[in-house]
Every structure is written in C-alpha cells, then in structure tokens.
Amino acid sequence: MAQVLEFKLPDLGEGLTEAEIVRWLVEVGDVVAIDQPVVEVETAKAMVEVPCPYGGVVTARFGEEGTELPVGAPLLTVAVGAPEGSSGSGEDSGSDPESAGGSGNVLVGYGTGAPAARRRRIRPDRLDRSVTEAPVSGAPVVKAPVLEAPVVKVLAADASVSEGPVPVVSPLVRRLARQHDIDLRRLAGSGPDGLILRADVDRAIRTAEETATATARAAQAPVQAQVPAAAPNGVAAAVDAERIPLRGVRGAVADKLSRSRTEIPDATCWVDADATELMAVRAAMNAATGPSAGPKVSVLALLARICTAALARFPELNSTVDTEAREIVRLSGVHLGFAAQTERGLVVPVVRDAHTRNAESIGAEIARLTELARTGKLSPAQLTGGTFTLNNYGVFGVDGSTPIINHPEAAMLGVGRIMPKPWVHQGELAVRQVVQLSLTFDHRVCDGGTAGGFLRYVADCVEQPAVLLRTL
C-alpha cells in the first residue's frame, strides 16, 4: 500500500527564513525521482532549485507561483510505493524515508536515517476539544484574572416604577442625578433597605457615557470606511496607487541598506583622476600577442586589483565593527564584492581571496560571477561574506555618487564613467580621460586621514599604473 509523504520547504542556509515560489517544475500526477528538482524558489539572496528527497507520484502542491512560504511549510506531497516486506497495513505509514525511497542526500530538516513523522487523522470534534482544552506542551497555563465590572442595577423599561418617594437621603446625590439626566426611580440602591448612594449614581453615569460612546463609534464607522487612509507622510494616498511587496531580492536590499544607514556613521570623500594612462595600459595588455597574450582584462578587474593593493596599505578599511563587544574586527583576507545590476535587482557577488589574485584572475572570476548573476544561478554563499565592495556605477552613464556601505563592511569605492574632459597635463591644457572616484567609509573604523590616504593611493594608481609594479 502506497504511503503519502509530505515534503516541506527545507532550510536553505545563510539564515534565510522564507522563499518565494518562482516556478513549479512538476505537476500533480507527475512521477518524480529521488533528488529531482521539483520547484524553483527565490530567496533574499539567490534563485534555488529545490530537490525532493522522495521518489513517487506527486499528489498535491502547496502554493501558487509568486507565493511566499516560510521554512518548514509544506511544498508538496508524494505517494511512495510500499517498501518490500510491508504488511500493507496503515500502521507502517511512518517508515523511514530510505525504506520509502528517500534521498541519500541531506537537506536541512531531512536526515537520511530519521523516520518520517506519522500522520494521524483527527476527527473535527476532537480537534475542537484539543484546541479549547489542551494546553500547549511545555508552556505553563496561566489563567488571566477576570476583572468584574461594577454592576449597575437598572430596572427594566417595562418594570413597574414606584410612584412613591425615591429612597435617597443626600441632596448631593439628587443634584448629581439631575445634572446627568439619571432617573433615580429606575435605580436599585445598594445601601441599606435599597438606599441609593452616590456610588450608585456614579456607576449609572459611567454606564450611560460608555453606551453613548459606543453608539457614536458605530455610527461613524461606515463613514470612516469610505475615507481613504492617509499615506505615512501625511499626503492622502491615491485610490489607484499600486502597492509592491518588499520581498525577495528587493526586500533584502531594502533591509540591508536601511540597516546600513541606521547603524553606520558614514562619510564620503571623492577625487577626480586622469585615467588616460590606465586605459592605455589596458589596451596594451589586451593587444598583446604570442606568449604574453591572455584573456581580455576589463577596467573593473584593474580597479579591483588596485583596491586590493590599497587595502594592503590601509587595512583599517578591510574591517567590520562588532557593536555588542564594542570592537573593530580587522580582517586578514580581502573578499571583494562588486555591484551587479540584474533583472532581479541589485546583487553583490563576492570574489573570494581577491588579495591573492592578479588582475587576470580577478577578471576571470568577475566574468564568471556576472554570468551567474544574469541567469539567477548565484548561490547564497557567492553573495555573502564580502569585506569590501567596488561599485562601478559609471556603466549607467553617471559621473559620481555617494555609495551606501554594504553592511557590515566598512567601506565602498564608487567609480563613475570615464569620459574625455579638459585637464591640465604637464602644464598644458589637454583633453584627457577623466574619472571620478568616491569612497564612503565607516567613521568608526578610521578617520578622514586614513580614508583620504586610501583614495589618494587609488587615484595615483589610476593616473600612474606603474605604481602598482611595487606590489606585484
């Protein structure tokens, strides 16, 4: 007898707690093999194909494309054939995944030897009782104190009202009731022999006020429902305004940039540099033939190599701040991130151990990661762990910017477009290839002197690439 196994969204690592279904790769009724990808999901860091650890027939899918599911939520169910030697009774439906055609791989939350959880049917009436009667396991049940509201005894409208004298002694009580239109004949006193006390009138006044307030709110509710809510900035929201959920890559970028602006006291300095010599050196590299020929080297690769040389001289900028311990953590290796704009949004792939690579190696890794970013196949590990970021916003045709630091890093170098501009060269006015360089840094890790020294060294290498020969 076949058993139905439930496959839940596994923990995809890197602290991710949810994922959005981008595309189902199987339909209900399809036969899937063990470890066959069944769904493509998008996390805050990458697009991932999720393999199913069971083999069998898909009996149900949970969630349409575009639905965001938390880790641990059901993805689909698979009907798996009964293992050999099974008696066919329903009591063995909780056999382990291996015997039921489970995966040999380990997904977080899906071991290879742990038995699958048994699923029992619960009658609705028992479910209702369990919800209302059974306490949550491990959590103490605390009975909330019931506050008894003071009871005001008021005679029913159709009750006979005595025409005789009202049992009130105090003139103050009579005047108080008269001021608030309280009919003393309809009050039952709480004093001796039904005597109406001031406390009885006070309670009647409060009850009347609460009743009037509730009636007014009920009357205003339909009117308020027709008034459009005001936008956060106080401007009335347009009725036809479009609301776009901040999730996936866009949500991750929003969270990281907001955290950066909140936690990091950043400052920016910039300088214009004559990149004519750098462009000439690049052209010579790429035009080389024979034994010295090699892959084409991009401007970004040369700038990345300049950054690693500058960070070796100014290691303060290759660090992070541990706010809880109140310590600056200076990092030994340079894992260089570079901003890449894709159809899914802005991502920052990381070149590992960039300090050990030359310009050619860095360029090859940048090209490989860029291609993965364009196809949405970057893994979360390739998008995390950076220590310094290089942002070439010149590709958008702009000259300068004030970059936002990629939290928890301490600095980011921004590069504008390289374009012909009038420039004083060797005492004469000439047209040169000029670029603007911007450095945004965390003022907690260093002062302006260190940041300025870093930026000036980068500009010197751009203007005179021979400076780099000292570190090769």
Q: For the segment 22-76, what is each residue's pLDDT rounded down to a tens digit? A: 889 999 999 999 889 999 888 766 778 889 989 999 999 998 888 888 888 999 9
Q: Is the pLDDT of residue 127 over 70?
A: no
Q: Which of the four pLDDT bands, split at 50, 70 and 90, describes residue 438?
A: very high
Of the candidates 14, 441, 41, the residue with the CA atom closest to the CA atom of residue 268: 441
Which of 183, 355, 447, 460 is labelled catalytic? Answer: 447
Give whole-number Cα distances, 122 to 115, 130, 278, 426, in Å: 21, 10, 73, 88
Average pLDDT over residues 1-23: 81
Which of 158, 442, 443, 460 is labelled catalytic? Answer: 443
442 in active site: no
pLDDT of residue 111: 42
Flag the least confident range among 61-75, 236-250, 445-459: 236-250
425 in active site: no
3-state secondary structure labels for all residues of the chain: CCEEEEEECCECCCCCCEEEEEEECCCCCCEECCCEEEEEEECCCCEEEEEECECEEEEEECCCCCCEEECCCEEEEEEECCCCCCCCCHHHCCCCCCCCCECCCCEECECCCCCCCCCCCCCHHHHHHHHHHCCCCCCCCCCCCCCCCCCCCECCCCCCCCCCCCCCCCHHHHHHHHHCCCCHHHECCCCHHHCCCHHHHHHHHHHHHHHHHHHHHHHHHHHHHHCCCECCCCCECCCCCCCCCCCHHHHHHHHHHHHHHHHCCEEEEEEEEECHHHHHHHHHHHHCCHHHCCCCCCHHHHHHHHHHHHHHHCHHHCEEEECCCCEEEECCCCCEEECEEECCEEECCEECCHHHCCHHHHHHHHHHHHHHHHCCCCCHHHHCCCCEEEEEHHHHCCCCCCCCCCCCCCEEEEECCCEEEEEEECCEEEEEEEEEEEEEEECCCCCHHHHHHHHHHHHHHHHCHHHHHHHC
* Residues comprising the chain, all counted: 472
Query: Which of the pair, 187 or 84, is modelled with greater confidence?
Result: 187
Q: What percent of the chain shows pLDDT beyond 90?
A: 43
For 99, half-sphere exposure in the C-beta direction (CA atoms, 13 angstrom radius) is 16
Report d(CA 240, CA 106) in Å as an integer.
48
Q: What is the reported pTM?
A: 0.57
Q: Is the pLDDT of residue 351 over 80?
A: yes
Q: What percent of the chain shows pLDDT beyond 70?
A: 75
Average pLDDT over residues 112-141: 42
Residues 6 or more apart from 151 whose CB is under 8 A from it? 203
Residue the block writes with tokens 């090769």? 472
Q: Which of the four pLDDT bands, split at 50, 70 and 90, describes residue 228?
A: low
Q: For the segment 82-118, what is each residue's pLDDT rounded down to a tens digit? A: 544 444 444 444 444 444 455 545 454 454 444 444 4
Name the range with the highest mean pLDDT among 201-205, 230-234, 275-279, 344-348: 275-279
pLDDT of residue 290: 83
Q: Is the pLDDT of residue 270 over 90?
A: yes
Q: Is the pLDDT of residue 259 over 60?
A: yes
Q: For the segment 408-421, what is each residue's pLDDT rounded down to a tens digit? A: 999 999 999 999 99
pLDDT of residue 192: 76
Average pLDDT over residues 154-171: 53
Q: Which of the four pLDDT bands, split at 50, 70 and 90, describes residue 316?
A: very high
